[in-house]
Amino acid sequence: MRASSVLPRVLLLGMVAAACNVEPLGGPTGGISVIREPGCPAAVIVVMSDFVSTQVALSALDGETLSASFVSTASAGTSGLSFALSGDVAVPSTRPPSGRVVLVDRFGTNVVTWLDPETARVLAQLPVGTGFQSNPQDYLELDARRALVSRWDENAAPGTQPFDAGGDLLVIDTQTPAITKAIALPREGDVPPRPGSLSLVGDAAVVTLERLARDFKSAGDAVLVGVDPASERVAWQLVLPGLENCGGLTLSPSGRSAALACTGFIDREGRAENLAQSAVVVFDVTRNPPSELRRFPASVFAGEPVQSELEFFSETGVLVKTQTTFGGTRNNRLLALDLESGDAVTLVEADSDSRDGGQGIVYGGILCTPGCGNVCLLADADRGILRRFAIANGALEPLSNVRVEHEVGLPPRGLGSF
C-alpha cells in the first residue's frame, strides 16, 4: 500500500472543517494471531476515517475482517495511547520488516505510533513535530533499529529546539524511540522540498519531493532523491521534467523495475491545471540512480489526471486511480494499466452524488499481494467497502465486496500491511 494521503494536502483541512455528526467509535476488538510466511504480509491494515475520527481494522490478505476496531480515536488508558489518533492517519507505503503495526498521524498531531498486532498494545509513540506542524507523510524502516520519517511542512521560525527545521527526513531510533538526526533535502530557490512517499530501492532510500510552493498556487517539477542508509546522506537526485505532484516509487514483483504516478498541480477543489503534468512513469531500478524507461501520459490512457498512487498486480500490470473533481462531470475510476502496451481498462467506477455531479476522490488506498494472497483490495469510501479482485494469470477478476465493520460505519480510506 502507498502511504500517501488519499487527499491533496490543501484539500484536507477544508474537509475536516466540514465533517459533522461524528458517531461514537465502537469498542476495541483486540489483536490477532499472527502467522507469517517468508516474503509475505501477515495481514492488512485498514484505516477508516471521516477526517475527524479514525478507526483502524486488521484484515486477512483476502480482505476478510479479523479485528474491526484494533485501535481508534477513542482508544486510551489500557491501550497505552497517550496521543489520541486524529482524523488524518496514514500507514507506511512500504511494509515494515519489524512486523509491527505503524501509524503516522499527520497534520495537527505529528506523531508516529508503534503497536503490537497480537495484543493491540501501543508499544511506543514519538512526537515528530518538534515545535511546529511538521505534517509527517511516510515512514520507512532501514534496519532493526533505524527508520526514516518524511516531514512535508517547514518551520517558519526554526532554531528554538533540536530538529525543528522541517521539510526534511528524520532519522528515528525505533527502539528508544527518539529522533537522532535530520537530513536536509535539495531545494531550488524558495520552493520547499515537500518530501512525501518513501521507498527502499536497491541500496538507497528514495523520497519523492513534491515541491509545492508556500502559497499552494504552483509547484515545481517533482524530484526523486536517493539517501544512502549507511552514511545517512543524500547520494543522488533525479528531476522528473514536466511532471508535478508525484507519488513514491513502487517496486514491481521482481524488484527490477518500478513505477510512480503523477497527478500534476491541482487547485483546492481538485481541478488539474495542466493534464500534461500527469503520467505514469516506469524506471529501471537496477541502475543507480534509476533510469527512466517510458512514460504513459494520463491524457492518453485515462483522459483525466490520475492520483499519485499505484500498485503492481503483475510484473507489467498496475492499478491506477483517477483524480476526480468534486462536483465535476466525471466519477472516480480504478484502472488496470498495462505497462507494455499502454492499454488501460476501467475495473470499477464510483456513483455520482445526488445532484449527478462527481463526488471527488472516493477511491483511497490500494493493495495487491501477487504471489502471497493473490488478491487486490481497493478502499471504497463511496460505498464504505473493500472492493476485491483475484489475481489470476496476470489478470484481475472481480470478487465479492467486503464491509470492514458494521457498527460505526466510518468509510475505509487507507490500506497497508505488516
Closest by Cα among 338, 418, 347 to 387: 347
| Residue ranges of domains in the chain, CATH in brackets | 9-417 (2.130.10.10)
Please report the pLDDT score of residue 290 as a whole number.
97
User: Cα(84)–Cα(71) distance, rounded to whole angstroms?
Assistant: 10
Coil, helix or strand at residue 235:
strand
**CB count, 10 Å around CB of 79?**
17
Locate the DSSP E strands across 79-177: 89-90, 101-105, 111-115, 122-127, 136-141, 146-151, 168-173
DSSP code at position 144: S
178: left (phi over 0), alpha (psi -120 to 50) or beta: beta
Residue whose entry in the numeric block shows the C-alpha cell 512526537? 127
Please report the pLDDT score of residue 356 as a whole number.
59
Please report the pLDDT score of residue 122 as a whole number.
96
Instruction: Please give the model's pTM, rounded to 2 decimal places.
Output: 0.93
Please report the pLDDT score of residue 24 as a whole number.
55
> Which of the residues in the chain have pLDDT under 50?
1-8, 10-22, 77-78
Please report the pLDDT score of residue 153 as a whole number.
98
Please report the pLDDT score of residue 26 as a whole number.
63
Q: What is each CA distance from 292 to 216, 241, 280, 296, in whole angstroms? A: 28, 11, 11, 12
Q: What is the pLDDT of residues 143-153, one digit of tens each?
A: 999 999 999 99
Burial 218-252 (b: 16+ CB within 10 A, else e): ebbbbbbbbbebeebebbeeeebeebbbbbbbbbb
Please report the pLDDT score of residue 374 as a whole number.
98
Helix and strand numbers (H, E) in the chain are: 2, 28
Please report the pLDDT score of residue 1 as a whole number.
38
Please report the pLDDT score of residue 15 as a whole number.
42
Please report the pLDDT score of residue 2 as a whole number.
40
Q: What is each CA distance from 406 to 30, 186, 207, 315, 409, in whole angstroms? A: 16, 47, 37, 36, 6
Please report the pLDDT score of residue 11 as a whole number.
45
Please report the pLDDT score of residue 177 as a whole number.
98
* Residues contacting residue 16 through CB under 8 Å, at least 6 positions apart: 51, 52, 87, 88
